[in-house]
Structures are given as C-alpha cells and as structure tokens.
Amino acid sequence: MKCRILEKGAELYFRYGVRAVTMDTIATELGISKKTIYQHFPDKDAMVYQVLESFIQNDQCKWEDLNKSSKDVIHKTLLSLEIMKTTLSEMNPRLMFEVKKYFPKAYDLFTKYKEDCIMNSLKVDLKTGIEQGYFRPEIEVELIARLRMGEVDLSFDPNFYSHSKLSFFDTQQILLDHFMRGILTEKGLSLYLSYQNNN
Amino acid sequence: MKCRILEKGAELYFRYGVRAVTMDTIATELGISKKTIYQHFPDKDAMVYQVLESFIQNDQCKWEDLNKSSKDVIHKTLLSLEIMKTTLSEMNPRLMFEVKKYFPKAYDLFTKYKEDCIMNSLKVDLKTGIEQGYFRPEIEVELIARLRMGEVDLSFDPNFYSHSKLSFFDTQQILLDHFMRGILTEKGLSLYLSYQNNN
C-alpha cells in the first residue's frame, strides 16, 4: 500500500504541483481513507520528502543507463534530452519552485543530489569531452558545470519561463543547445550536428 | 552636501555591501554629523534607493556611449567587458544580493531597469547581430536575452560564486565568452576572435 500511495502522490504532485494536491486528493484518487495514508506518512512533509527521494533514485538509474547506452559525451547529452522530454512532459513547471518554497527539507535532499551526483557527473563529462577533443580545452570545468546547473534552475523559475511562449521542453532544448555550442570545438560541433541531423 | 553624501554612500556600499555600512560610517567618513545626513535622507532605505537610482543613471549613460563608440554588436559586447571590469573591480559581490534581501524597494527599481532597459537593449543587439549575419538566425531572441540576464543574476548569487576560485571579473568574462560562442555564426566567430586577438 505504501508503494501505491507514493506512486499516486508522485503522479499527482508532478501533474499539479505540491501545493494543489492535498492528502485528501490522494486518498480520493486511490479510493482509500486518509487514515490509511497517515499510517504510512505522518504528514505531507514526509510524503513530499519520500516522493522526491524515490524520484531521485529513479533519476539516478536513468543516468546510469545513459552512461552505458551512449557512444560519447555528445551523444549522451542528446540522449539526455529524451529523458528530459519524458520527465518534463509529465511535470508541472511550478513543482520545483513550490518544493523549494514550501518543503525546504525535501528541497535540501534535491540540492544535495544536485551537488553530489549531477554536478560530479557533469564535471566528469566535461573532462572526458575535453580529452576527446570535443570540448574546448580552455574550459573552466567547475564554473561551466555550475553554469549548466544554474541554467536548469533558472528554467524552473516562474519569473523566467512565464515570459516565454515556448513549451517547457522546447525551452530546455534551446538552453541545452546554446550551452553545448558554447563549449564545443570544431570537431565537437561536426559530431553534434551529425547526431542532430540523424534524428 | 546631498551629492557628497550620495557619492560617499555609493563608494562605501560598493566596497563593503549595504549591510556593513551604517549611516554612522558615512557620517564619520565625511566628517559630518548623522543629523546632517538625516536632513537629506529620512532613513537608510531612502539612501540605498537614491544611491541605486544614480548608479542606474550613470550606467545608462555608459551604455549610450557604448552604442556610439562600438563598430558592431560583437565589438560592443567586448567593450562592455571593459565597463564591467571597472564597475566590478569596485563592487563587493554581495552588494546586489544584500540589496535584494534587505532593500526590496531599491531592488525593484533595479529589476525595472533590467526589464525596461537592459532586456530591450539586449534584444535589439541580438536582432541586429542576426541581421548582420553574426548571430545564428534561428536564435529565440526573447529566451536567449533572458538567459543572458539570468546568467548575470546567477553570477551575483553567493551560492554560485562562493565555489569558485576565479575572480569575480574573470567569472563574468568566462560566462560572457560562453554565451557569445553559443550564439555566433562562423562569420561572427571569426570577427569575435579577431577582436580578441587584437586586445
């Protein structure tokens, strides 16, 4: 039952954000009593925390698979767009903003994940790309990785995307394309464009 | 006297941030009584507001001069780095962060300036660069201008720059270089590199 509640919670939070979805909504959707939910989760804070925790676990698995299935760092970046497409098509863009504002403990978990896993993985990819001649050797790896993380955060900021007529996914795609062009060498750019043309 | 107080306030706020500098500090530095300051500024809120107001006026003049003295949009971008170098070498990186946190009315003024002036000027430059064949024609002007603004905001965020061993100005330079490479055409990149090599 705990797994079913978590799955439903994740589904509803992703679609409508964490604010609009109450414990009542989740109970009604599952056809169970609120009491049953509270047997597994003492409060909404715990619920949001655990939903985010399993989201992170899933996300980690996806990135590990990506490392195996990609031919090189440029290919990996383009494949990562596919993951983002699936995730973002289900996600209310306000979600992370609301978690940050109303569930700081859960947000800390996410921040730690970004710092420990995503940031490190980005740095490894940047270094690999430089070694392979795809990324410019003069790149400041730490700063550029942090810039990329900052861009993703920025894209989730309502002040940023509310001005845009583009879909959330299109926005991500344009930001990633701009980011990549900013780091690619000539050799890297040809490979990048050849992957894009094959899609 | 009002001008002298404003100038000293600006100088001290820029160097030490708005939190550390009290009305007492400014009075002592000018060798005047605090009462004299309060004859011109009812409180610190008003002081910070007016300091920012005259900073914005100065900044506008500098950008207008830049439009006259630059040969094209790429040249303008590289000249803008010189303005940034002067401004940033005098500026405590915490300044804007503190204004945002503790002087929201003054920060609103800055936000309005960014929205009405900087954002528009950026969009004009992007469109001009596209027309002249220096920037890629498929660029989403609105989104890319907002990305650039977001990058500058990001660079002022203590969470961002505190990880860096680079100077505040070097960071700005790297971010701008990455931004430019992300939008340049082949023709634009040659011109950009030729300006850089001439410096």
What pLDDT is stored for residue A19 in this prediction?
92
CB contact under 8 A, B147 and A154: yes
The beta-carbon neighbor of B150 closest among A142, A154, A165 is A154
Q: Which residue of B has its CA nearest to A139?
A: B174
pLDDT at B159 over 90: no
- pLDDT band at A5, cuts 50/70/90? very high
pLDDT at B134 over 90: yes
The beta-carbon neighbor of A174 closest among B140, B163, B174 is B140
- pLDDT band at A129, cuts 50/70/90? very high
The mean pLDDT of B63-71, rounded to a whole number, is 89
The beta-carbon neighbor of B160 closest among A144, A150, A174 is A150
Dist. CA B104–CA B177, nearest whole Å: 31
Dist. CA B70–CA B150, nearest whole Å: 25
Q: Which residue of A has its CA nearest to B138?
A: A174
Mutate to test the interface with B, among A107, A112, A143 (most CBs of B within 10 A): A143
Distance between A149 CA and the closest CA of chain B, angstroms: 10
Q: Which of B40, B67, B53 is nearest to B13 (CA)?
A: B53
Residue A146: its chain B contacts at CB < 8 A? 160, 163-164
- pLDDT band at B29, cuts 50/70/90? very high
The beta-carbon neighbor of A182 closest among B154, B165, B182 is B182
Average pLDDT, chain A: 91
Distance between B181 CA and the closest CA of chain A, angstroms: 5
A181 in contact with chain B, both atoms CB, cutoff 8 A: yes
Match domain B2-198 to its CATH number in 1.20.1440.230, 1.10.357.10, 3.20.20.220, 3.30.420.40: 1.10.357.10
Q: What is the ipTM of this complex?
A: 0.85
B27 in contact with chain A, both atoms CB, cutoff 8 A: no
Dist. CA B78–CA A31, nearest whole Å: 62
Distance between B79 CA and the closest CA of chain A, angstroms: 20
B108 in contact with chain A, both atoms CB, cutoff 8 A: no
Taking residue A24's Cβ as centre, other Cβ atoms within 10 Å add up to 10
pLDDT digits (tens, 9 = 90+) for A68-107: 999 999 999 999 988 888 888 778 878 888 999 999 999 9
Paired tokens of A4: 């079913």
Give the 3-state secondary structure of residue A135.
strand
Express as a percent the part of chain A with pLDDT over 70: 100
Q: Which of B93, B92, B86, B84 is nearest to B15 (CA)?
A: B92
B166 in contact with chain A, both atoms CB, cutoff 8 A: yes
